[in-house]
């Protein structure tokens, strides 16, 4: 049985990350709704990257995971970049 202080750490830690996710989402929404602002989609994607980093680091504890696990997570992204890179090499030069 965990002590109450440990329980509080668990709950507060999750609430903290949740609050950060929520605020980031709210800022993304606000930026999208205010008319006339430039680069709306890139801005939204930057927010998603930050949110994803929070979930990966805070909830999924990727930072504390072994090097093997972190490499695995990275490899998915790297291989996806192959698909984008090579296909756009075609699409942009047609």
Partner 1 sequence: MKVDDTGLLAREPDETSYLTAGTTLRSWLLSTDHKRIAILYAASITVFFFIGGAAATMIRLELFTPAGDLTTADEYNRLFTLHGVIMVWFFLIPSIPGTLGNFLLPLMVGAKDVAFPRLNLMSWYLYVTAGLFTLAALLLGGVDTGWTFYTPLSTLYSNSYVLLAAFGIFVVGFSSIATGINFIATIHLLRTKGMTWMRLPLFAWAMYATSLVMVLATPVLAMALLLICGERLLGLPIFDPRVGGDPVLFQHIFWFYSHPAVYIMILPAMGVVSEIIACEARRRVFGYQFMVYAMLVIAVIGFLVWGHHMFVAGQSPFASMIFSFLSFVIAVPSAIKVFNWTGTLYRGRIRFSAPMLYALGFVGLFTLGGLTGLFLASIPVDVHLSDTYFVVAHFHYIMVGGAVSAFFGGLHFWWPKITGRLYNENFARSAALWLFFGFNFTFFPQFILGYLGMPRRYHEYPPEFQVWNVMSSTGAVVLAVGYLMPLFYLGYSLLHGERAGDNPRDATGLEWTTSSPPPQHNFHEPPVVRSEPYAYHDWDEAPGDADETPQTDPA
Partner 2 sequence: MSSTPILVEPFEEPERQREAMVFGLWLFLATEILFFGGFFFLYAVARMQDPVGFAKGAARANLLLGTVNTVLLMTSSATLTVAERAAQAGWMRGARGAILATLALGTAFLAVKGFEYREDLSEHLFPTSPAFPFSGLVGATRFWSFYWFVTIVHAIHLTIGLGCVARLLRLDLPRRWMVAEVTTLYWHFVDIIWLLLWPLLYLVGP
Alpha helices per DSSP H over the chain: 4-33, 40-54, 67-91
Residue 19 vs 80, nearer CB to partner 1:
80
Integer distance in angstroms from the first to the last C-alpha of the chain?
64
Residues that bind partner 2 (CB under 8 A): 1-2, 6-7, 10-11, 13-15, 17-18, 21-22, 25, 28-29, 32-33, 40-41, 44-45, 47-48, 51-52, 55-56, 58-60, 65-66, 68-69, 72-73, 75-77, 79-80, 83-84, 87, 91
């Amino acid at each position: 049985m965990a002590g109450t202080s440990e329980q509080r750490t668990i709950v507060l830690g999750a609430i903290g990350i949740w609050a950060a996710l929520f605020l980031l989402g709210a800022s993304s929404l606000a930026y999208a709704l205010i008319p006339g602002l430039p680069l709306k989609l890139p801005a939204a994607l930057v927010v998603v990257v930050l949110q994803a980093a929070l979930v990966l680091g805070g909830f999924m504890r990727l930072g504390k995971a072994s090097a093997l696990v972190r490499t695995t997570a990275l490899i998915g992204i790297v291989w996806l970049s192959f698909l984008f890179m090579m296909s756009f090499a075609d699409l942009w030069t047609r």
